[in-house]
Amino acid sequence: MSLPISDDDLKRMNNINFSDYFLKMKEYAKENNVPIIQDEGLAFLLTLVRIKKPIRILEIGTAIGYSASMMANEGCLVYTIERDAKMYEQAMLNVENLGLSDKVKVIFKDALEAFDLVKEYEFDMIFIDAAKAQYTNFFNLYSPLLSPTGIIVTDNMLFHGVKMEDAKTRALRGLIRKLNSYTNFLLDNPNFKTTIFNLGDGIAVSTRR
Ligand SMILES: C[S@@+](CC[C@H](N)C(=O)[O-])C[C@H]1O[C@@H](n2cnc3c(N)ncnc32)[C@H](O)[C@@H]1O
């Protein structure tokens, strides 16, 4: 696994513009099979950020810090949680290289165990983009921290278009079952209204009723 930017890039760090760097992060993700948000989903997410102007965002699932840095680049303060050490290190490096250390707080922890680290804050947006099997647990754990007019955005609702009948392994079928159950949980939720958008990999936007 190589760094997302070369040594030469690092030397020229102060001259790297944001779009070049984001492009490199995207290339790195592709080369190393790191799942980051799709372009269409990202455009939608950033549009929500521009309309909503959240002061503080909580992201579950940092990976290399791509979506977190993009949102921070819009002026938000982003708390993002990652449990994988390599991803965490990569994210920290990227955030630093982008000069966003004041705006992106990367928390190295399993999100199911990180509540105490962020419970003092109120979030205007929560972006759920980590282990699909835990989506309902993430939602239940962190939705109490959402501001009254805040929104919860969930990525990968369509799970790359994989349908139950096409799923070859038991694990995959289990995952799809959990994602379907999360969809029902959102749509039947007495406290939240949810719309699922058929763009990117499927994005759900939930607001309080
Ligand atoms: C889809 S990627 C996140 C992509 C990122 N939001 C982006 O678009 O740039 C999911 C990440 O969540 C992390 N993850 C999965 N389950 C997690 C958990 N329970 N707690 C924290 N991180 C988790 C994975 O290690 C992975 O890096």
Model pLDDT, residue 165: 79
pTM above 0.85, yes or no: yes
Identify the DSSP state of 112: G
Tell me what the mean pLDDT of segment 89-103 comes to.
96
pLDDT above 80 (res 140):
yes
pLDDT above 90 (res 41):
yes
Q: pLDDT class for 134, splitting at 50, 70, 90?
A: very high
Q: Is 83 in the pocket of ligand 1 (CB under 6 A)?
A: yes
Q: Could you tell me which residues are beta bridge partners of residue 203?
A: 197
Residue that is written with structure tokens 């690092």 in the block: 10
pLDDT above 70 (res 16):
no
Task: Tell me the per-residue pLDDT of 119-131, one tens digit each, with 9 for 90 and over.
Answer: 999 999 999 999 9
Cα distance between residue 63 and residue 83, in whole Å: 9
Instruction: Work out which ligand 1 atom sits closest to the CA atom of 67.
Output: 9
Q: Is 124 in the pocket of ligand 1 (CB under 6 A)?
A: no
Q: Could you tell me which residues are beta bridge partners of residue 207?
A: 151, 193
Instruction: Work out which ligand 1 atom sits closest to the CA atom of 112.
Output: 19
Cα distance between residue 54 and residue 74, in whole Å: 10
Task: Tell me the per-residue pLDDT of 159-178, one tens digit each, with 9 for 90 and over.
Answer: 877 777 788 888 888 889 99
Nearest to 154 by CA among 177, 122, 171, 131: 131
Which one has a higher pLDDT value, 125 or 11?
125
Geometric angle at alpha carbon 51, from 58 and 41, rounded to 5°: 65
Domains and CATH numbers, the chain: 7-208 (3.40.50.150)
Geometric angle at alpha carbon 10, from 4 and 11, rounded to 5°: 160
Percent of the chain scoring above 90 in pLDDT: 80
Nearest to 149 by CA among 125, 120, 185, 121: 125
pLDDT above 70 (res 205):
yes
Model pLDDT, residue 78: 98
Q: Is 174 in the pocket of ligand 1 (CB under 6 A)?
A: no
Model pLDDT, residue 88: 98
End-to-end CA distance of the chain: 45
From ligand 1's centre to the CA of 61, what distance in Å? 3
Model pLDDT, residue 3: 52
